[in-house]
């Protein structure tokens, strides 16, 4: 089977990989209908946080597709169904899962290691990981269902962690796919005012389509000052951090009012939080790898009923064979998010 493999920084090849098969009785095999390139795939692409022992690396952890085969113990999905899963396989039954933190499941398996940018994918813990759609979707729904697998679920978690809701002013730091979908989430959760922080015209436009009421182009301290100005000097009730850098984390904490909430979902690289800064902020700070599985049934329902259209974040769609072009486009910010079709 064909699959995308990274052989070193900047080096993506689509090549023959061994076809997956059922290993555990709780596995499912799916034929991938659509996969995509994640902002977090760009870290190894840029050689950040990787070493010589990491290559070759099968790529991809976002997926939606048709179940082809299930192990003997799988009960909730069956061949022929269209399914969406999270980037962490989870049992969905342990105490951590039941509390809604499936991304820290005691039995979790990282889907990235299995390589979803491929024709076929083995999904461990299928009952706890996959959610079937009511029927096989029409083609136009597939991008949005794929978005639920990670970027929508992650943006949603960011907004939930930041306690976005009615009467709240929500600021979103980061205009990548996750940040843009955190805007959409804040809107769905009923936020009164949603501030997208972006200096890119096309991303600002999408942010407005998703529900942003205000755009702030400034970054860092100037960005914080602009949020304060919008909120009578108080800061936002809720801030979603969707980048993962020192600057974006500082900006998020400093832009939050005392008693407010920061939801951080950008994969942190080289971020240190100053204890005194945090002490005086009086902010609630919560985040991490999003427990997307918690939200999947609700998100699939919203997409299925065409109440939300998160698939708009895919502004470039390529055949899997051209995955390298997709990585390049995202790396150079020519594309917000690249969909790959096996
Ligand atoms: Zn669990």
pLDDT tens column, 38-65: 988 998 999 988 888 889 999 999 999 9
Q: Are residues 65 and 170 in the same domain?
A: no
pLDDT of residue 49: 83
**Per-residue pLDDT for 25 more than 90?**
yes
Q: Are residues 140 and 186 in the same domain?
A: no
pLDDT of residue 51: 85
CA of 295 to the centre of ligand 1 (A): 15
CA of 110 to the centre of ligand 1 (A): 13
Report the pLDDT averaged over residues 319-341.
96
Look up the CATH number of the domain holding residue 303.
3.90.180.10
Q: Are residues 171 and 297 in the same domain?
A: no
**pTM assigned to the model:** 0.96
CA of 197 to the centre of ligand 1 (A): 35
Domain boundary among 245, 269, 287: 287
* One-character DSSP codes across 237-299: EEEEE-S-SHHHHHHHHHTEEEEEEEEE-S--SS----HHHHHHHT-EEEESS--HHHHHHHH
CA of 102 to the centre of ligand 1 (A): 6
Report the pLDDT averaged over residues 6-21.
97
State which residues form the domain around 253: 153-287
Look up the CATH number of the domain holding residue 204.
3.40.50.720
Q: Are residues 53 and 114 in the same domain?
A: yes
Domain boundary among 287, 306, 323: 287
Calpha distance 214→219 (Å, rounded): 15
Calpha distance 257→186 (Å, rounded): 17
Q: Are residues 191 and 65 in the same domain?
A: no
Q: Are residues 253 and 323 in the same domain?
A: no
Q: What percentage of the chain carries pLDDT values higher than 70?
A: 100
Give the distance, in angstroms, between the CA of residue 306 and the centroid of all CA atoms in the same chain. 20
**Per-residue pLDDT for 27 more than 90?**
yes
pLDDT tens column, 219-266: 999 999 999 999 999 999 999 999 999 999 999 999 999 999 999 999
Residue 66 binned pLDDT confidence (cut-offs 50, 70, 90): very high
CA of 223 to the centre of ligand 1 (A): 39
CA of 109 to the centre of ligand 1 (A): 10
The domain total for the chain is 2
Calpha distance 311→332 (Å, rounded): 21
pLDDT tens column, 191-220: 999 999 999 999 999 999 999 999 999 999
pLDDT tens column, 73-127: 999 999 999 999 999 999 999 999 999 999 999 999 999 999 999 999 999 999 9
CA of 96 to the centre of ligand 1 (A): 6
Between vectors from CA 291 to CA 88 and to CA 110, what angle results, nearest 5°?
15
CA of 83 to the centre of ligand 1 (A): 19
CA of 129 to the centre of ligand 1 (A): 10
Q: Are residues 277 and 314 in the same domain?
A: no
Q: Are residues 239 and 299 in the same domain?
A: no
Contact between residue 257 and residue 163 where contact means Cβ atoms under 8 Å apart:
no
- Of the candidates 168, 167, 155, 187, the one whose C-alpha atom is nearest the C-alpha of residue 238 is 168
Q: Are residues 141 and 164 in the same domain?
A: no
Q: Over the chain, what is the mean pLDDT?
A: 97
Q: Are residues 223 and 300 in the same domain?
A: no
């Amino acid at each position: 089977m064909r699959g995308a493999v990274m052989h070193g920084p900047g080096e993506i090849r689509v090549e023959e990989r061994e076809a997956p098969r059922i290993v555990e009785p709780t596995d499912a095999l799916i034929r991938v209908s659509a996969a995509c390139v994640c902002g977090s795939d760009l870290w190894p692409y840029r050689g950040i946080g990787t070493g010589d022992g990491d290559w070759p690396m099968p790529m991809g952890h976002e997926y939606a597709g048709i179940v082809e085969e299930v192990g003997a113990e799988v009960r909730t999905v069956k061949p022929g169904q269209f399914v969406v899963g999270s980037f962490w396989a989870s049992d969905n039954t342990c105490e951590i899962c039941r509390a809604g933190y499936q991304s820290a499941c005691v039995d979790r398996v990282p889907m990235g290691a299995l390589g979803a940018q491929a024709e076929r994918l083995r999904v461990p813990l299928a009952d706890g990981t996959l959610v079937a759609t009511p029927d096989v979707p029409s083609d136009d729904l597939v991008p949005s269902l794929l978005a639920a697998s990670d970027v929508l679920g992650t943006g949603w978690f960011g907004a939930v962690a930041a306690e976005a809701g009615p009467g709240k002013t929500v600021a979103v730091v980061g205009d990548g796919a996750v940040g843009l979908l955190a805007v959409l989430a804040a809107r769905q959760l009923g936020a009164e005012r949603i501030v997208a922080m972006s200096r890119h015209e096309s991303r600002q436009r999408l942010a407005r389509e998703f529900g942003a009421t205000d755009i702030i182009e400034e970054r860092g301290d100037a960005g914080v000052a602009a949020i304060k100005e919008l909120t009578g000097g108080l800061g936002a009730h809720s801030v979603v951090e969707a980048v993962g850098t020192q600057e974006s984390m500082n900006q998020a904490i400093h832009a939050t009012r005392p008693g407010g909430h920061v939801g951080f979902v950008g994969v942190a690289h080289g971020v240190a939080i100053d204890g005194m800064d945090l002490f005086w902020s009086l902010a609630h700070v919560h985040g991490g790898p999003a427990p997307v599985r918690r939200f999947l049934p609700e998100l699939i329902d919203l997409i299925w009923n065409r109440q939300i259209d998160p698939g708009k974040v895919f502004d470039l769609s390529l055949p899997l064979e051209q995955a390298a072009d997709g990585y390049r486009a995202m790396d150079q910010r020519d594309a917000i998010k690249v969909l790959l079709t096996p």
